[in-house]
Amino acid sequence: MHVPDGFIDLPVSAAAGVVAAGAVAVSLRGARRELDAMNPGTDLGAGRTAPLAGLVAAFIFAVQMLNFPVAAGTSGHLLGGALAAILVGPYTGIVCMSVVLLLQGVLFADGGLSALGVNTTIMGGVTVVVAYALFRGLLKVLPKRRSSVTAATFIAALVSVPASAAAFTLVYAIGGTTDVPVGTVLTAMVGVHVLIGIGEALITAATVGAVLAVRPDLVYGARGLATPLKLRVGGELVDAAPAAAPAARPIASARPVWIAGLLTSLVLAGFVSFYASANPDGLEKVAADKGIDKNVEEHAAADSPLADYGIKDVENVRLSGGLAGSIGVGATAAVGTGLVWAVKRRRKDGTEAAAGAAAEAPAHRESV
């Protein structure tokens, strides 16, 4: 659903850019709290969550290269907002999505540069907010068990895709550069993206379910869902007293999950992507059928060495696409991890500075 340059006029694109920049700024602050929430009272949040955030960004980049057929002449791909929000938290999820969309636009000429704010808002912000809000709401009414997390993930991911399509229609209604009726655009966009949403839901639920099976402690959305042990007393079930945690209980390393996830992403982007559907995705198909693409502009990075997910001057299509995909996975993993590390480091430095100032204050008063 990457919106190219020319679909939305410049004033609305600029306004969307301001909205997107504000959302990212807020999310960077919120990501600090999500890092701390993974390991309250310790400094292990960044060590576990920063690499996972980079991995989530890399995995989303890889899976977005795998277009799957959804209807005659139409394909779809993962958007990833629900997956990011549930695995690493909604704020960190928006940061991950922003990294993916930025690198896709700048390096791979996928999604217009003037439309970067539009894409970040509808593909990153809307999908994350809608999916996570619905996910949390469902968990409040479902039994507290892992199967409920998977079910809520499926529904949240499914709904997030047509919600993003509806958000695009709203932006088009305000700043579209063609005169196609908004009702026509809405019906076509939501209709095809409901089908794409089914694929999104299957991929997202399978991925979250796989992580839950091996390391439920790494799933942000599954925090606090442990069901208390029940004991039968006098014929009635009562909650057992929670067992005291060991004083120095070691926290399992997330490295095996990170390595496995990164290798999977590299295989998907570097090899499996060659077999992806070549049909246009939902937005491209609707745009061509309804005439939204009349004013589409050539991408400013069309001459990039990695444009269209291929290596310039490498004639072997399989090798060209595989190398480009692998570079994209590495870049998103590095940028995503580095950005979240920087967020955590800034918070740590600020906390230490505040603690130092508080410690010096009594000494200053005593000397006076």
pLDDT at residue 34, rounded to an integer: 84
pLDDT at residue 253, rounded to an integer: 77
Query: What are the sequence ranges of the domains in the chain?
Result: 10-229+254-367
pLDDT at residue 240, rounded to an integer: 52
* Right CATH for 10-229+254-367 from 1.10.3720.10, 3.90.1150.10, 3.40.640.10, 1.10.1760.20: 1.10.1760.20
pLDDT at residue 237, rounded to an integer: 57
pLDDT at residue 40, rounded to an integer: 52
Rg (CA), the chain: 23
Identify the helix (H) or strand (E) that includes residue 45.
helix 45-64
pLDDT at residue 195, rounded to an integer: 96
Q: State the pTM of this model.
A: 0.87
Ordered per-residue pLDDT tens for the chain, 368 residues: 899 999 999 999 999 999 999 999 999 999 888 877 665 544 444 455 678 899 999 999 999 999 999 988 999 999 999 999 999 999 999 999 999 999 999 999 999 999 999 999 999 999 999 999 999 999 999 998 899 999 999 999 999 999 999 999 999 999 999 999 999 999 999 999 999 999 999 999 999 999 999 999 899 999 877 555 455 666 665 555 544 444 444 557 788 888 999 999 999 999 999 999 999 999 999 999 999 999 999 999 999 999 999 999 999 999 999 999 999 999 999 999 999 888 877 655 554 444 454 555 555 555 54
- Residue 206 is encoded by which pair of tokens? 């399978």
Distance CA 32, CA 171 (A): 31
pLDDT at residue 43, rounded to an integer: 45
- Residue 21 is encoded by which pair of tokens? 């920049």
Whose tokens are 């529904």? That residue is: 155
Distance CA 178, CA 180 (A): 6
Number of alpha carbons in the 13 Å side-chain half-sphere of residue 191 = 10
Distance CA 367, CA 364 (A): 5
